[in-house]
Amino acid sequence: MELKLGLNVELGFLGMYCRSSLIVLSNICARCFCRKRFTLTRLLVILLIISVITTIFSISYLNVHLRSTKRRKIPPLPLSPCRANITDMKNPFKKISHHTKDVLRFGEKVLVLVDLQFSKAGTKIIRLLEAVRIEYKVVSTGRNLPTLTHLDEGKFAVIIFENFNAYINMDNWNRQLLDKYCLEYNVGIIGFVPSTTDMITEIVPGFPLTMEYNQKLQDYKLNRFSDVWRVTKASQFYEGRLPGDWTVFRTNHSTYEPLSYSKKQSQKFSVSIEDDDNKPVSPVIYDSGKIDNIKRILFGSTLRFWLHRLLLLDSISYLSHGKLSVSLDRYIQIDIDDIFVGKEGIRMLVEDVEALAQKQELFQQIIPGFHFNLGFSGRYYLHGSYDEDAGDKKLLEYRDKFWWFGHMWRHEQAHKFNEEALTLAMQQNKKFAQENFIPVKQNYAVAPHHSGVYPVHEELYKAWRNVWDVKVTSTEEYPKLNPSLRRRGFIYKGIMVLPRQTCGLYTHTLVLDDYPGGKKGLDDSIKGGELFQSILYNPITIFMTHLSNYGNDRLALYTFEGALKFLKCWTNFNLKSLPPLQLALKYFEMFPEERDPIWQNPCNYKRHLVIWSANKTCEKLPSFMVVGPQKTGTTALYTFLAMHPGIVSNYNSPDTFEEVQFFNGNNYYKGLDWYLEFFPDPSNSTSPIIFEKSATYFDNEVVPQRAFSLLPKARIICILLNPAKRAYSWYQHMRSHDDPTALSYSFYDVISASDIAPRKLRDLRNRCLNPGMYAQHLVRWLDYYQPSQIFIIDGEQLKNDPINVMHRVQRFLQVEKYYDYSQHLRYDPKKGFFCEVLSNNFRKRKRKSYPPMTDEETLFLKQYYHKYNVALSKLFERLHITAPSWLEEIYEMKRNELTTV
């Protein structure tokens, strides 16, 4: 019936087209014949033109007709269930938990030893660890081992060698050190043994183990009796050729247990001892430690084979005694964006909607409570062909079967509009939902093209809250689109932003042949490839799909049915579903460290710049920062810098005066737009050199990472004063501001306060003492910025010789127009420091005077800061930085004392 109706409609259009063509033709002919100078040549030209036009229209019609016919093919059938050994389906020895009751004396970090810093095999290991959020440290095997312990605890839970031969051939010192660490802290080793063409077989020195290299393997099954398996379901059997060349292991010692079996290509599986030719080989083996009490798991190939990713996760979990186990719960949400947005010919028909509802019921058997989540822009409802409009109506008929969320009325890109326009668009979409009884109950929304979510468009968040009461959204753009395994979540202004994943299907992926690589390419993604790994690595996965993926060949249904069945075949994951709001709460319960956003420079990433408001500019961001610490002369430096005609400072804050204090407190949660308001528009200033000064940045733990994320090319200026003087100056500063604690206690009482002292006293003690631990704070900055980006100013020299200091500062900043401070700064003997000269008068500056420290206080601080000053001296020596004069004086006195003794 539908086919006849569609055919009648097409024939009707064709008839109308033919009639129109005949009318046009007759009119032209009539005009031509009525003319006196009508010739046969003109007639032929007219007929030729009409023929060309007719051909163009015919081709267009046939393309539409063929595309329509193409989309009506029977959609591809989902992948068949995985192959399993029937005798292995029940595994009485399955052990899901690796946790132990023993006291574990190591941290939650993995040490990865690689041959080269950016080797392909090592990079795959590191990316897997990043994807599952396991902390790691990478060290080259050509160097000495890093410090393995801290106090009485080991730093690393597992040791991974990219190339196990590096462990075998390790020098005696490092080998003994590593083995002793593994024995004392019960830490295991994972090693990958790449194939080599240099030899065929090799006996491992010191171990009853033989390795056979350069093997071509096919088929793969797991040892179902092993306790290593946790994520991996060991009852399955992989059939087919394995990628690349392999190393296999042979041994007769009881310490070794094969974890997997394979066979050489053209070989048959046999468990007969007499049949050596067909005996399976072992590409992954477990050393239980019976020889030297160190447990090891060896892989005969890299992570190129997809199943080894599961095996590596289980190996890390097993050898860390469950400390580095990933969750077995996997929450899945599938969004269908733009459910009414699509050009005619690619939208859903009635049978597509029915198939969607039927598959949802099937998926609910695999994922309890699962619902497809449909996003809509109401403006495009009933904008398809007759049959496609019927599909739209069927969606509304089935409205209560699905979850729903709003886009924009016209699918607008949020970053291009102000709050008023966005609010109006959302209100129109909401009205459409109300008029059509669409149940929008999830407090969830998605911005078209991810526009305005990140980089943040403040107006979008306000409109979302006001119109839809949105509490949750998702994006694939934070912190960047690629690599996808590093996508994370954050919370901004009360809206939880979750990471979103793609499944390889986009708006243009209509039929199976459209997918890169066709059916094989999509099947590879499902069976261990990118789609499978998205769920493997992420305990919560939100997939982005589109309307066109559910019409045409219904590729989304094909893809997810195959993926879910494959997951159930090969993993012990518990597949679950939650409504978006509960899902977001679950996500930040799992990853509370991701609550705080990390602001980046949108101009450093093309995709972000495209979805950032055109009226914003990165040129307002500062080129350098004065980061402190407090009470070292930062205000004087700020004043001197502001005198320079080619340098522009930030605007003053009504709360913190000349300091912005963006990166280290609640101001950071106000967002990038708030920060940019503190800087002048470069078009209105005479210089592009803009800076900010916030002395609270220096010793704050989170500031270096936050600053580097937004300002990776910025230069950093620090002022280091004798830490004892700095501590005393802070105490006096607090007294001058009538701080009750500072007024109630002497300086010695403050700096010598114990950890059981009243909280306010401890807080004041920490603010006096902690910023002066210069070395540990500088190291934190050096984790992100290059030494060439950091300039250290001697606080004493800034006070006594600011002209020379400012000369060096200008050179460090590479200021084009030199400013001669000797003409603008004069020493004021009454105040005891340099001041700016204005018309032969000094600019007024605050003079602070207070009694000197007592001998008891001086001695206490000298002893307290000794180890920190030693560390600072060594750091300067390593970085080839000239030490401040006060630091040289301290150690000159120390040397004199030692000489006297």
Q: Give the model's pLDDT for residue 2.
A: 36
Residues assigned a catalytic role:
631
Among residues 169, 245, 180, which one has the least CA distance to residue 214?
Answer: 245
The Cβ of residue 525 has, within 10 Å, a number of other Cβ atoms equal to: 23
Q: Give the model's pLDDT for residue 623.
A: 96
Annotated binding site for 3'-phosphoadenylyl sulfate: 729, 846-850
Specify whether the CB–CB gap between 104 and 155 falls below 8 A: no
CA atoms of 258 and 225, how far apart (whole Å): 10
CA dihedral 305, 311, 313, 314 (to 10 degrees): 170
Structure-block tokens of residue 520: 């094989």
Q: Give the CA distances from residue 178 to residues 130, 157, 173, 572, 691, in Å, rounded to whole numbers and listed in that order.
A: 24, 13, 9, 34, 48
Q: Give the model's pLDDT for residue 678.
A: 96
Strand 284-287 versus strand 256-258 pairing type: antiparallel
CA atoms of 889 and 721, how far apart (whole Å): 12
CA atoms of 712 and 182, how far apart (whole Å): 39
Q: Which residue has the tokens 């994807």?
A: 131
Three-state DSSP state, 350: helix
The Cβ of residue 593 has, within 10 Å, a number of other Cβ atoms equal to: 9
* pTM across the whole model: 0.87
- Bridge partners of residue 502, in order along the sequence: 544
Three-state DSSP state, 722: coil
Q: Give the CA distances from residue 552 to residues 194, 381, 643, in Å, rounded to whole numbers and listed in that order.
A: 45, 18, 68
| 436 half-sphere exposure, CB direction, 13 A CA radius | 24
Annotated binding site: 729, 846-850
Q: Which residue has the tokens 């994943």?
A: 501
Q: Give the model's pLDDT for residue 303.
A: 96
Q: Give the CA distances from residue 559 to residues 253, 341, 342, 539, 592, in Å, rounded to whole numbers and listed in that order.
A: 45, 21, 21, 19, 32
Helix (H) or strand (E) holding 9: helix 2-34
Q: What is the DSSP string of 303-358?
A: TTSTHHHHHHHHHHHHHTTTTTPPPSEEEEEEEEE-TT---TTSS--HHHHHHHHH
Q: Which residue has the tokens 């280091």?
A: 720
Intervals of the chain under pLDDT 70: 1-40, 42-43, 54-73, 81, 84-95, 267-278, 683-687, 839-848, 891-901
Q: Give the CA distances from residue 513 to residues 521, 555, 563, in Å, rounded to whole numbers and listed in that order.
A: 10, 10, 19
Among residues 673, 635, 677, 646, which one has the least CA distance to residue 817?
Answer: 646
Q: Give the model's pLDDT for residue 33.
A: 44
CA atoms of 447 and 847, how far apart (whole Å): 55
Which residue ranges form the domains of the chain, and what is each CATH number? 87-319 (3.40.50.880), 329-593 (3.20.20.370), 617-793+845-888 (3.40.50.300)
Q: CA quadruple 720, 722, 724, 728: dihedral positive or negative?
A: negative
How do residues 134-191 score in pLDDT, each as one tens digit?
Answer: 999 999 998 889 999 988 899 999 999 999 999 999 999 999 999 999 999 999 999 9
Among residues 159, 164, 111, which one has the least CA distance to residue 139?
Answer: 111
For Cα atoms 284, 289, 295, give the angle at the middle one, nearest 5 degrees: 60
Specify whether the CB–CB gap between 284 and 299 falls below 8 A: yes
